[in-house]
Amino acid sequence: MTYQLIENFAAGLDTRKSPLTAPAGTLLRLKNAQITPGGEIAKRRAFVNIATLPSNSFGLAATESSLVIFGRNVTVTPPSLGVTGVTMKALTVPDAATDLVQSDFDVFDGRIYMVGSKPSGADAAAKNPHYLDDGTATMFAVTEGNGKGYYVRTFQTKMYAISGKYLYFSAVKQPKAWNVGSPILDPDGKATTGMGFINLSMQDADSEVLTSLEVYYDKLAIFSSEAIQVWAVDPDPLQNSYLQLLRGSGTLASRSPLQYGTGDVLFLDHSGVRSMKARDSSNSASVSDIGSPVDSLLTQLEVDLGTSFTSKAIALLEPFVGRFWLAYPDRIYVLSYFPGPKVTAWSNFTLPFTVQHAVTCGGRIFIRDTANNLWLYGGIDAKTYDNCGVEVRLPYLDGKKPGHRKQFNAFDATISGTWRVAVSFDYNNPDAEETIGTFSTPTWSAGRAEMQGYDSHFSLRFYNDDALPATISNCAAHYEMADDEA
């Protein structure tokens, strides 16, 4: 008798190969679970609805320890959250139209800088108002920032924004002042300096419509849908310098670029998730295909649901162990990347709500949905689980003898929690499967679990349907070679 052991699942979800040729350790499905630094499968925590936000509020922003929502010309009373280390406050947005929504935000010197979008606006400035938390209950309307762009980043003592082919930047330490020759004075009564703009289309024709920006090491990466320009920016605009062009990669999902790891930037491209990373000690950038195991799934989303759906993707850094999350309106793709133990694994979460805004605050992830509910990953205690429906599906494995039939007779696994285990032998009918049994402890010393089957390949499946944590460390199928094929 022999067996095939799957020692770990460090490769995670991988759709690059046929279910018949995918190697052991990869997964055809990994739903509502993720890979640990040890290469094991662990069920995700619950998304818990912790508050209903006022119906006259909108948006969601965050500083290190405060969540912020907004009211259109009205005072909004924020709910009590009961989350240790996190408070919530509401800011009134002055002269706000009823169709004003939050497009983006960043934090400047501890204050929220919120960018609005107002479809009913008569011109660019009216359609794209900017606001700053001045430490009062009412936000200051940053009139000089109005119309400068729907997406912003704080960097090098300035606020940067993109609009059309222009990269705009505010005065040094003065996010209210954007116009050259501005009458706005600094706190010492001196004229502000450093504001201005750069026309990026003069460097490259693919930068006519800019979509996003993110910090890349000590530089700024500015995205269009088809290219990325890397600039060294300085408080003195005369010292700004163009460094590099990365053609053929870009994003339409303006909230997807995110600095990750040691300085790399992950983002959603038309072709899937890409990584903008240093190619040598100079930190010159190149683009890698870190998302290739799930690219076929992501590109199919764009085909099926269109860019109006995929452009809403939001990137987050999950604070528990630093996983990368790419949150679509109804699902999240998760990258578990741990270079030391050589784990690079994708998985996906399904969601019981539609994402509108998502932020990290106080080491936790908060999501505002389209129905004014506030969700907290892990719940108040950070360790709540629910019946989210975990599904794990392995490829069709063959013991390195695909042309030989086997008599399968037993199954083993190292698990915790409760799992229903099934097996499929018919790769031409992959949804046809037979239940082996339900298990809650490791099986190795329990005399093995019976698994009857006669074929060349097998695909194990695991399902969890309770509200408790659960893990899978390894698994194996025991079999004998058919007499005439041994």
Q: Quick one: CA dihedral 68, 74, 77, 79, positive or negative?
A: negative
332 plus 438 within the same structural domain: no
Neighbours of 124 (CB within 10 A): 13
Assigned token pair, 282: 């100079």
**pLDDT at site 298:** 97
| Residue 193 backbone class (left: φ over 0; alpha: ψ -120 to 50; beta: rest) | beta
**pLDDT at site 135:** 87
pLDDT, tens digit (0-9, with 9 covering 90-100), for 362-383 = 999 999 999 999 999 999 999 9
Residues 6+ apart with CB under 8 A from 447: none
What is the rounded CA–CA span in Å between residue 316 and residue 367?
A: 11
Q: Cα-flanking dihedrals φ and ψ of residue 442, to 5°?
A: -55, 145
Looking at 328, 363, 386, which one is the last position of a domain?
A: 386
Model confidence pTM above 0.85: yes
pLDDT, tens digit (0-9, with 9 covering 90-100), for 276-327 = 988 766 677 888 889 999 999 999 999 999 999 999 999 999 998 999 999 9
358 plus 415 within the same structural domain: no
Looking at 360, 386, 412, which one is the last position of a domain?
A: 386
Instruction: Report the percentage of the chain scoring pLDDT > 70.
Output: 98
Q: What is the mean pLDDT of residues 219-238?
A: 96
**pLDDT at site 430:** 95
Q: What is the mean pLDDT of residues 349-361?
A: 98
346 plus 437 within the same structural domain: no
What is the rounded CA–CA span in Å between residue 114 and residue 118?
A: 13
Neighbours of 378 (CB within 10 A): 17
Output the 3-class SS for 167-223: EEECECCECCCCCCCCCCECCCCCECCCCEEEEHHHCCHHHCCEEEEEEECCEEEEE
Cα–Cα nearest to 340, from 11, 7, 14, 37: 37
Q: How many domains does one find in the chain?
A: 2
Looking at 327, 355, 386, which one is the last position of a domain?
A: 386
What is the rounded CA–CA span in Å between residue 27 and residue 25?
A: 7
186 plus 126 within the same structural domain: yes
The 355-361 sheet, strands edge to edge: 47-52, 373-377, 364-369, 355-361
| DSSP conformation class of 152 | E
Q: What is the mean pLDDT of residues 157-177?
A: 96
What is the rounded CA–CA span in Å between residue 357 and residue 102?
A: 9
38 plus 60 within the same structural domain: no
Residue-range definition of the domain harbouring residue 346: 48-386
Q: What is the mean pLDDT of the chain?
A: 94
pLDDT, tens digit (0-9, with 9 covering 90-100), for 72-99 = 999 999 999 999 999 999 999 998 889 9
109 plus 217 within the same structural domain: yes
pLDDT at 408 over 80: yes
297 plus 427 within the same structural domain: no
350: part of which helix (H) or strand (E)? strand 343-350
The pLDDT confidence band at residue 448, using thresholds 50, 70 and 90, is: confident
132 plus 260 within the same structural domain: yes
16 plus 116 within the same structural domain: no
234 plus 343 within the same structural domain: yes
pLDDT at 191 over 90: no
pLDDT at 140 over 70: yes
User: Tell me, what CATH number does 200's domain have?
Assistant: 2.130.10
**pLDDT at site 182:** 65
314 plus 280 within the same structural domain: yes
**pLDDT at site 445:** 87
pLDDT at 1 over 80: no
Cα–Cα nearest to 143, from 182, 172, 197: 182
User: Tell me, what CATH number does 423's domain have?
Assistant: 2.60.120
Q: How far apart are the first and last CA of the chain?
A: 11
Q: What is the mean pLDDT of residues 20-28?
A: 96
pLDDT at 486 over 60: no
pLDDT, tens digit (0-9, with 9 covering 90-100), for 237-247 = 999 999 999 99
**pLDDT at site 484:** 58
33 plus 56 within the same structural domain: no
**pLDDT at site 183:** 65
Q: What is the mean pLDDT of residues 149-166?
A: 97
